[in-house]
Amino acid sequence: MDSSTQSTKALVVDVATGAVVARGQAPHAVSGTAAGDGKESDPEQWWAALREALGQCGPYALRAAAISVSGQQHGLVTLDSRGRPVRPALLWNDVRSAPQRDQLVDELGGPHAWAERIGSVPAPAFTVTKWAWLRENEPEAVRATAAVRLPHDYLTERLTGQGTTDRGDASGTGWWASVSETYDEEILEHVGLSPDLLPRLLPQGSAAGTVRNLPDLPLATGALVAAGTGDNMAAALGLGLRPGQPVLSLGTSGTVYTVSARRPADPTGIVAGFADAGDAWLPLACTLNCTLAVDRIAGLLGRDREAVEQGGSAVMLPFLDGERTPDLPLASGLLYGLRHDTTPGQVLQAAYDGAVFALLTALGRVLDEDAAPDALILLIGGGAKGTAWRETVRRLSGRPVHIPRAGELVALGAAAQAAGLLLSEDPAAVAFRWGTTEGPLYEPVQRDDAALNRISHVMSRTEALLERR
Q: What residues are labeled active site?
A: 231
Angle at 365 between CA 449 and CA 378, to 5 degrees: 75
Q: Measured in whole angstroms, how far is the alpha carbon of residue 51 from the centre of its chain?
A: 24
Classify strands 254-257 and 281-287 as parallel, antiparallel or unpaired.
antiparallel
